[in-house]
Amino acid sequence: MQQLVAGERIAPRENYALDSSIDRLLVTGATGFIGGAVLADLVGSPLWQDTLIMVRASTLSEGKERIAHSLQRFFPDRPVSQLIGDHQVILCSLEDSDCLLEDERVEHVSHVIHCAAMASFSDSPKIRATNVDASLAFMRSITAVARIRRFVNVGTAWCVGLRTSEVVPEAAEVPEGEHVVPYTASKLEFERRVREEFPWLNFVSARPSIVVGHTRLGTKPSGSIYWVFRSTFAMGQFTCAYSDQLDVVPVEWVASALVRLATTRRLRFKNYHLSSGRQWASSIEQIDHAIATGIEQRANGKEGYRRVGGQELAKAVRANRYRLGNANPWLLTHALNIYGKFAQSGTVFDNSHTLMEGVSPPPPFFTYAGLCAATAESTSLAAQMEDDFK
């Protein structure tokens, strides 16, 4: 197994002016999909040794093990556990953030990337408790101890709710639409509460659109949300037209953008969409052909694909159970209807602010959807859904 050393350049990095005021960078949510990708981006940078990682664990060894497991997903052929220093690990959860008040290392935190959240599309009351209440408690603790110069919050572009057939701007004030799930509403409420309670804070809202897969690893790090496209391909049916475009981005691009927004010397704006925008969005047709290529099957094609409503989608799930594996038909229908509402809105998110900061345009989903399809074959559809419906 090839060794990985701290400071090794994992992938090409664009040059930009690093903020000289960075003392310590704190990352939360490192065991999640986006948080793990952020660590993977940082491990090859000069900032790694000065990065603190907040993790829920009872002991230091357990905490390091959880962080290593998350990071290892992005370096499957290289051992990474030895890269995590004891000095980097802060044993703390959002719910118990008072412990930050007694940790001397936290006093030196100047920049934060807040990835921690309950990213679930269920109706669990834990969503608001975690994403709003516990996150606000964390904000109060960290700002009481440290002089935070920049706080980058990982939200969601869908915090504006459903918007019909339009490009949503990155402006601070966007009229709110109907929320399909509590998760998107909770992320918007947290942003609003922070701006009200901490008006002096340099709070940067980074809002990813739909994050699916990895351009080099496919779904190996996580199958989150990819199961929607897998199901759509298997059934040849979904709630949007074959020509409709979807705003989907890969996780490592999101992570790289987050690190850049957190560490670049100056930012022009307070709100950023980490999204494909209209120019790099992918159509159902492009995704259909890419998935077919990835698993060496015939694409549904325009003639073999149907746009359907909720009731017809339920019938399609029942009719295709043999192709959908062990997925619970009721849960899958419910889940597809939720994502179907996002997809059929035709909404994409303007990413002009993000690109103006020098972030490269995102790879379109259809350019790596085939890899996602190929790497997903060894995992059941039901297992892929677990992360999204905790």
275 in a structural domain: yes
Please tell me the predicted confidence (pLDDT) of residue 247. Answer: 95
First to last CA, the chain: 34
173 in a structural domain: yes
Q: Is the pLDDT of residue 14 over 60?
A: no
Question: Where is pLDDT greater, at 368 or 325?
Answer: 368
4 — pLDDT class (breaks 50, 70, 90)? very low
In terms of Cβ atoms closer than 10 Å to its own Cβ (0-12, 13-18, 19+), residue 104 is: exposed
Mean residue pLDDT across the chain: 91
Q: Dihedral sign, CA of 196, 198, 200, 205?
A: negative
Please tell me the predicted confidence (pLDDT) of residue 259. Answer: 97
Instruction: Round to whole Å and give the CA distance between 264 and 23.
Output: 13
Instruction: Round to whole Å and give the CA distance between 174 and 122.
Output: 25
| Cα diameter, the chain | 64
Q: What is the pLDDT of residues 83-135, one digit of tens each?
A: 999 999 999 999 999 999 999 999 999 999 999 999 888 888 999 999 999 99
323 in a structural domain: no
Length in residues, the chain: 390
Distances (CA, A) of 256 to 116, 148, 158, 316: 17, 21, 20, 38
In the chain, how many domains are there?
1
CATH number at residue 61: 3.40.50.720
1 in a structural domain: no
Mean pLDDT to the nearest integer, 186-195 = 95
Q: What is the pLDDT of residues 225-255, one digit of tens each?
A: 999 999 999 999 999 999 999 999 999 999 9
Please tell me the predicted confidence (pLDDT) of residue 13. Answer: 47
Instruction: Round to whole Å and give the CA distance between 262 and 276.
Output: 20
User: Residue 274 sits in which domain range?
Assistant: 24-214+250-280+348-363
Instruction: Round to whole Å and give the CA distance between 97 and 92.
Output: 6
237 in a structural domain: no
SS3 labels along 316-383: HHHHCHHHCCCCCHHHHHHHHHHHHHHHHCCCEECCHHHHHCCCCCCCCHHHCHHHHHHHHCCCCHHH
Please tell me the predicted confidence (pLDDT) of residue 261. Answer: 97
127 in a structural domain: yes
> Residue 178, SS3?
strand
Q: How many CA atoms lie within 13 A of 27 on its CB side?
A: 31
Q: Is the pLDDT of residue 18 over 60?
A: yes
164 — pLDDT class (breaks 50, 70, 90)? low
Q: What is the pLDDT of residues 334-347, one digit of tens each?
A: 889 988 888 888 88
Please tell me the predicted confidence (pLDDT) of residue 165. Answer: 57
159 in a structural domain: yes
Q: Are 207 and 274 in contact (CB under 8 A)?
A: yes
Element (H, E) at 237: strand 237-238
**Angle 272-276-279 (CA atoms, 0-180°, nearest 5)?**
120
Please tell me the predicted confidence (pLDDT) of residue 16. Answer: 61
Please tell me the predicted confidence (pLDDT) of residue 12. Answer: 38
Q: Is the pLDDT of residue 45 over 90?
A: no
Q: What is the pLDDT of residues 297-313, one digit of tens each?
A: 999 999 999 999 888 99
